[in-house]
Structure 1
Amino acid sequence: MVLSVSTLAREQKKFIIDQLEHIEHSLHPSVTEDEELIRRALFAVRNKSVTFERYVPTTSTLFTTVQDVRPTHVTVHFQEGNIQCNCPQEDWCRHKISVLLSLYQYIDSVQDWTSKWRSKKSVNLHLLASERTPESWLAMVNEVMSHQLQEGRQIEKYLISNIAENAQSKLKKHTPFEREWQPIYNLFIEIAILNKLWQHILESQSNINSDYFEYFFDRRFEVIQNTIHEISGKSRLFATDPFFDALQVLVRELLLERKHHIGRRLNIYLLFWDTIFIEKRRAEEELSILHQYAEDAKKNTNTKLSDDVPLPTVLNVFHIILKDYDSLKNNLTTIQPKEMNIYFGLAKFSYSRNEERAYELILKAMLPHLNEYINNYLLPSQRQVYVRRVHSLFEHINLTEQEELMLFSAFGVYGVQPYSQYLLKVKRYEEWAALHQLYPSSISYLETCGLKEVLEVAPEVTLPLYHYYALEEVNQKSRMNYKQAVRIWKMMKSAAKKCGKTYFWTDYIQSIREQYKRLRALQEELEKGNLLA
């Protein structure tokens, strides 16, 4: 059967147009390499270098050859929705584009499509990159992102990462040659892309509260963190100051003027002010701007400030940096239980800066709200990890006995291990045993909580625990559990001997034997374990 390309093109019109739209968003006319790619694809179409060899209707597969320096084979899978080329270039190559344009010419004008694509070119990225000013770098980001983000059009959540990576790949081509400028450029475009993307998501009312966005953000945060640490270890050029000024504005916008994921936005803000923005005059300037935001918010004259921004908390960052402990202490009276996670980050920020006074003030202000936060704001699956992290912070400050009890009371069942360590530290062994009777677990967990230390110092308090866990095994009524019960009784026997209660042990094991005389398998295990001797 003779292949009718025009008929095939009309049948697969939606696929062809969708692929060309993808090309429009992936390739930017301001990027020299992308413009060259389209030019060479058009050259192949005009010179009839594309040969449609055969079409397999059963699988909707079109086999073509593009006559280049050497023949290149392109396969279009209409049913699966993809195009394959045997050239080494990844993603879009001139061969794939030339095949699509050769099909498109049976549907509409290729020249019109090309003119429309080229009309989006407003600036030359090479010229902007050569100027090397913050304004030029920002204009480059805006140019690339404006091509990726159509005004008012929502972004599918699974495309967020692709859009950012595509923009970065185009901007990375203009990275400065000088090694000392490269991390600054990389950091600048990371923050500028994130800020622009976040702004578009909010304006287009796209879904930002999704696992896709959180995964994307956490990956970008890791890259930003690594780049910042690379910059912080090097001396700065005087010429880079304007770029850090521009970054200060971008980071502030990201925190104060965007919405959702306030904890993640604050993490970026703290990261910059902990590592990059280290000058006192810069901190004083930022504090003044934040006070202005606060004043405007009171007068309802600043519509840019997002309603999810805890401004007193942000002000605390600069009270810590500038060592204004009175203002910090005053602001800490406004803490709410729902803000615990934010203050957790603020405490770590203080600790990383060796601000011991601020660190202690923050943790002690958090203390009365921990119970409500853990039990009402955290999922049960999150509580164990959170308690462990919080306790690691409180270990670095001195607490009164009442404060210690308040802390461990807030932890509840999730703080058994740290509370056990505290009771051992203050040598309250009976309370240690009572705690583990209140929150029973297992012998192996007891060992992680300091069982061996208690056995050395106060073995008598362990006897009720061994009794409880042994009977728990017996109640399972299986040979394997009976064997485990005998192992526990052996430990109990050793503890009784250690504290001089041999007669108690003899009476106890005889009572156990009598109580469970109908359990033949248990009696056999008792005999094997030599517990009756």
Structure 2
Amino acid sequence: MSDSNRPALNDEQWEELLGQVGRHFNEVTLSRGYQYFKQQFVESLRITAEERVVQAKVTGTETYQVVLNLNRFASSTCTCPVRSNCKHLAAVIMELADRLGYPASQVVNARMYQKRVQTAAPAQSVLQQLPQLDVAGWHAFWEEATSFVKPAYDPGKYTEMLRHQLQRLSPRSIPFTAIDWLYYELHQHLFVLRKLKELDAQGHAGHYTGFALQRMYEDVQHTLRQQSAAFNLTLSTERLTQTLRYMRQQIAEEPGLRMRDYGLYMALWKALIASRPEAGGWVSQELDELEQLPGESLSFPLQALKAFHYLQQSKIEEAWAALEASDSFTQAPASLFLPFLNHLSASRNWKALVDWLSRMRPQFQHLRGQEFQVYMAFWKEAAVHRPEVEEPMLDFLRGMLPLSAPFIENWLYEQHRWKPWLEIQLWLGRDPLQYRVSVLQPIEKEAPELLVPYYHQGIEFYVSQKNRQNYKLAVKLLKRLFKIYKKLKRIDRWEGFLDGFLERHNRLRALHEEIKKGKLAE
């Protein structure tokens, strides 16, 4: 479409183009142009990016050549009898807009758009009143001031259009304090996020909106992390109270168990409150707010929020009861529970940690991947600090086999619990040769007798495959087995085993040849 990768229009130039259309075209011409655009009469559209000149062919009753000059709009021409500001030129502008991701409908309504832009510019007196408004007032102000920004197919464009308008509403002449500016800008991000959620709820642009929404959540969390040190809680008690109230409302309104707004609340809490000396007072205030709400009306995310704050006050049973109070508890995502476990671990409450790990088994027992690994790591940490937890932990995890096998194996190996470790290898039919020699060396040194049945199982498996390559592997294990019998000073048992082994497999000539090559028999 273009001679260059550089876009022919940015957001500011798009608004300027709409202004030109509003001034030069009447509504009848724009309506007729829209019909030409919808019927795909615009062909061969080409942009010369340097001069910002658009050339196109428009078919219909006849075919006409259109030249749209974006730098000098008034010089744009068409070969039709009207020559300029015609329906053909209007159709080309709409086609250009559509290809660049801008809504063609705004071109059709350009005159109305211009009126809205003019009326949307707030008077200076209104801007001067913003410091006296609470954050709910800011959101209401932005809602009205951006009402003319209509959802676009491209959620990225929609986001940029919203941000552009919000920038116009943020002149530095507003008499905000430095801390109020931080909250004003934070809530502008939250406002755009809310508009994208509304777009997502309406089903616009499918997964494109979902992607833009996820990016917006990440952007807000990044902003919180970057600016956390600048938020002085002593100077902003009321603004923070209003912000927490706003976040709780967003959590209450989020459908299902997506928990995205819950996660954003937790990010805000961690960035602005968690590590501050006055955090305890904020916990009490939040619990007071949550406890005033009727229990049956609380969604699961709000119940989880209540549980989180109970934990901050070391009210362990109250926290668990708050989680279980919701019918959606059993469907809650496992990731929700990790911050609770992390808090119990950080507070070194090992008894409560083990209790919660046991209770959360249904949420984790069918998972794979990172969340399950983190869950298992909490078990391990509890067992390290409370040795009496080890056996109950292993019994518990055996009930989750085979999913928990890697964790159990690692734990037993680290603790030099060779017997149960080898029992798992035998149960899973693991090949001894899959391990490096260095893995089994500690067992050969400390408890060589435990390796005897493990090696016997491996040898029988390789022989059962009945091919020379596996016979070679069987001989390799036979040599290891011989060293163990020798170390145990039980050569007589080795000789008895080998004689019986050769007799049982006397028809496997290739096996006998490999045994002779290995110098295990004459």
User: Please, what TM-score do these two structures have when normalized by structure 2?
Assistant: 0.67
Range with greater deviation from structure 2 (461-470 or 447-456)? 447-456
Query: Which letter does structure 2 place at the counterpart of 1:118?
Result: Q
Distance 2:233 2:70 in 1: 41
* CA displacement at 1:33 relative to structure 2: 6.1
What residue in structure 1 maps to residue 372 of structure 2?
387
- The equivalences for 1:23-38 within 5 A come to 34-38=14-18
Q: Given the alignment, which residue of 30, 53, 58 partners 1:72?
A: 53
Query: Which letter does structure 2 place at the counterpart of 1:138?
Result: H
Asked if residue 453 in structure 1 is aligned to residue 442 in structure 2, the reply is yes
- Contact (CA 8 Å) 2:233, 2:240: kept in 1 or not? no
What residue in structure 2 maps to residue 266 of structure 1?
262
- The equivalences for 1:103-182 within 5 A come to 103-104=90-91, 113-121=109-117, 123-124=120-121, 133=131, 134=135, 138-139=139-140, 142=143, 146-147=147-148, 163-164=158-159, 167-168=162-163, 171=166
What residue in structure 2 maps to residue 356 of structure 1?
348
* CA displacement at 1:257 relative to structure 2: 1.8
Asked if residue 465 in structure 1 is aligned to residue 454 in structure 2, the reply is yes
- Contact (CA 8 Å) 1:437, 1:465: kept in 2 or not? yes
**Structure 1 pair 489/415, CA: closer, same or farther in 2 (3 Å)?**
farther
**Structure 1 pair 439/373, CA: closer, same or farther in 2 (3 Å)?**
farther
Task: State the superposition RMSD in angstroms.
Answer: 5.1
Query: Which letter does structure 2 place at the counterpart of 1:124?
Result: A
**Structure 1 pair 355/471, CA: closer, same or farther in 2 (3 Å)?**
same
- The equivalences for 1:401-416 within 5 A come to 401=390, 403-416=392-405
Distance 2:503 2:322 in 1: 66
Q: Could you list the runs of 5+ residues in structure 2 that have no partner in the other structure?
A: 1-7, 27-40, 60-66, 78-84, 95-103
Distance 2:520 2:476 in 1: 10
Distance 1:77 1:474 in 2: 80
- Post-superposition CA distance 1:195-218 (Å, at most 9, x none): 34334544x4x399x876765555
- The equivalences for 1:450-529 within 5 A come to 451-529=440-518
What residue in structure 1 maps to residue 288 of structure 2?
288
Q: Could you list the runs of 5+ residues in structure 1 that have no partner in the other structure?
A: 1-22, 47-58, 79-84
- The equivalences for 1:239-318 within 5 A come to 241=237, 243-278=239-274, 279-293=279-293, 295=294, 297-298=295-296, 306=299, 309=300, 311-318=302-309
**Structure 1 pair 232/477, CA: closer, same or farther in 2 (3 Å)?**
farther
* CA displacement at 1:280 relative to structure 2: 3.2
* CA displacement at 1:453 relative to structure 2: 3.5
Distance 1:215 1:229 in 2: 21
Q: Given the alignment, which residue of 328, 345, 348 partners 2:319?
A: 328
What residue in structure 1 maps to residue 101 of structure 2?
none
Q: Per the alignment, in what secondary structure is the counterpart of residue 461 of structure 1? A: helix
- Contact (CA 8 Å) 1:486, 1:526: kept in 2 or not? yes
* CA displacement at 1:462 relative to structure 2: 1.9
> Which of 1 and 2 has greater Rg?
2
* CA displacement at 1:315 relative to structure 2: 1.3
What residue in structure 2 maps to residue 8 of structure 1?
none
**Structure 1 pair 196/489, CA: closer, same or farther in 2 (3 Å)?**
farther
**Structure 1 pair 328/70, CA: closer, same or farther in 2 (3 Å)?**
closer
- Contact (CA 8 Å) 2:155, 2:209: kept in 1 or not? yes
- Contact (CA 8 Å) 2:19, 2:110: kept in 1 or not? no
Query: Which letter does structure 1 place at the counterpart of 2:347?
Result: E
- Post-superposition CA distance 1:141-161 (Å, at most 9, x none): 5358755556xxxx98xx556
Distance 1:88 1:462 in 2: 82
Equivalent pairs: percent with the same residue?
17
Asked if residue 62 in structure 1 is aligned to residue 51 in structure 2, the reply is no
**Structure 1 pair 347/45, CA: closer, same or farther in 2 (3 Å)?**
same
User: Please, what TM-score do these two structures have when normalized by structure 1?
Assistant: 0.66
- Contact (CA 8 Å) 1:454, 1:462: kept in 2 or not? yes
- Post-superposition CA distance 1:52-108 (Å, at most 9, x none): xxxxxxx98424578x99463556899xxxxxx99999xxxx99xx99981439999
Q: Given the alignment, which residue of 318, 326, 337 partners 1:344?
A: 337
How many residues in Structure 1 have an aligned counterpart in Structure 2? 454
* CA displacement at 1:403 relative to structure 2: 3.0
**Structure 1 pair 211/483, CA: closer, same or farther in 2 (3 Å)?**
farther
**Structure 1 pair 257/340, CA: closer, same or farther in 2 (3 Å)?**
closer
Distance 1:87 1:454 in 2: 82
**Structure 1 pair 527/400, CA: closer, same or farther in 2 (3 Å)?**
same
Distance 1:197 1:448 in 2: 57
Q: Per the alignment, in what secondary structure is the counterpart of residue 228 of structure 1? A: helix
* CA displacement at 1:510 relative to structure 2: 4.8
Range with greater deviation from structure 2 (226-235 or 125-134)? 125-134
Query: Which letter does structure 2 place at the counterpart of 1:195?
Result: R
Distance 2:145 2:23 in 1: 25
Q: Per the alignment, in what secondary structure is the counterpart of residue 314 of structure 2? A: coil
- Contact (CA 8 Å) 2:257, 2:301: kept in 1 or not? no
* CA displacement at 1:488 relative to structure 2: 3.9
**Structure 1 pair 368/258, CA: closer, same or farther in 2 (3 Å)?**
closer
Distance 1:456 1:103 in 2: 87
